[in-house]
Amino acid sequence: MTNMRESSQKSSEEPQTRIPKRRRGRDRVAVLLEAAAKIFVQKGYDAATMTEIAAEAHSSIGSLYQFFPTKPLLAEALHIDRLERLKAVLQDIAEKSGGRSAADSGEAIFDRLGAFIKEFPEYPVLATRRDVPKDRKMRSRAELKALISAILRRAEPPITDDVVLMSAIVLELLRIAVVAANEPEAASDRRLVRELRLMLRKRLEEAAAKA
């Protein structure tokens, strides 16, 4: 009876991403992720198929499923990789933000976000998918807010009293910019991002004036 119950539990377990230990396996995963990035941009997340991704990677579908049993797991692995790169961008801004005004730091964040999306156009596709795990989403937002807070605290004058609120506002405006980058009409109209930047500059100047 116990064996039957254990077998049932195992069969109902969620599929997991396989993390390769050898260099060859890690290189293969990197190729699969880049192929997924290309197909997600070309087809959109919902329309993209695992067969197309495998073909783009010059891989068998069996090899793809060996590492990523489902498309959401593949997208999540790629999303996490891109988030780590984005966090590195914000960390770099924080390290170089000493002596810069909060408003100028806000401009720097938007500038670097634009460059980031240009380099990784799949990021808006990944960020706007409907099956992002809620717990990971909350954790990632907290990490990004912490990095933005570090930037604002290093500004001159530093934003301290309203730093939690301001970091949330900055992150929300960045989220809107990312969503807009995934909308063909909004992406072609640069006025939206320009207005977001102006809104952020004004709000950061107001916060800095209270410091």
Claim to verify: residue 65 and residue 83 sit in the same structural domain: no
Mean pLDDT, residues 112-135 = 95
Cα separation of 107 and 117, whole Å?
15
Question: From CA 174, how far away is CA 129, in angstroms rounded?
Answer: 16
- State both tokens at 39: 């197909």
Residues 83, 64 share a domain? no
* Neighbour-count burial of 208, counting CB atoms closer than 10 A to its CB (0-12 exposed, 13-18 middle, 19+ buried): buried
Choose among 170, 120, 122: nearest CA to 150: 170
- State how far the Cα of 141 lies from the Cα of 120, in Å rounded to an integer: 19
Q: Determine, yes or no, domain membership for 172.
A: yes
Taking residues 11-40, report their average pLDDT: 81
125 shares its domain with 200: yes
Domain count, the chain: 2
CB neighbour class for 8 (10 Å; exposed up to 12, middle 13-18, buried from 19): exposed
Q: How many angstroms separate the CA atoms of 193 and 103, rounded?
A: 15
Query: Per-residue pLDDT tens for 87-119?
Result: 999 999 999 888 899 999 999 999 999 999 999
pLDDT band at 10 (very low <50, low <70, confident <90, very high): very low
CB 102 within 8 A of CB 204: yes
Q: Give the C-alpha separation, 117 to 83, whole Å.
A: 12
Whole-model pTM: value is 0.87
Question: Are 63 and 90 in a shared domain?
Answer: no
Question: How many residues are present in the chain?
Answer: 211
Q: Which of 37, 69, 101 is the last residue of a domain?
A: 69
- Tell whether the model's pLDDT for residue 11 goes beyond 60: no
- DSSP state, residue 58: T
Q: Are residues 87 and 58 in the same domain?
A: no
Tell me: do 107 and 125 sit in the same domain.
Answer: yes
Candidates 37, 178, 196; CA nearest to 117 is: 178
The answer on 121 and 29 residing in a single domain is no
Buried b (16+ CB within 10 A) or exposed e, 190-201: eebbeebbeebb
Q: Where are the alpha helices (DSSP H) in 44-133?
A: 50-56, 61-67, 71-96, 102-119, 122-127
Same domain for 159 and 196: yes
Q: Could you list the residue range(s) of the whole structural domain that residue 37 is in?
A: 17-69
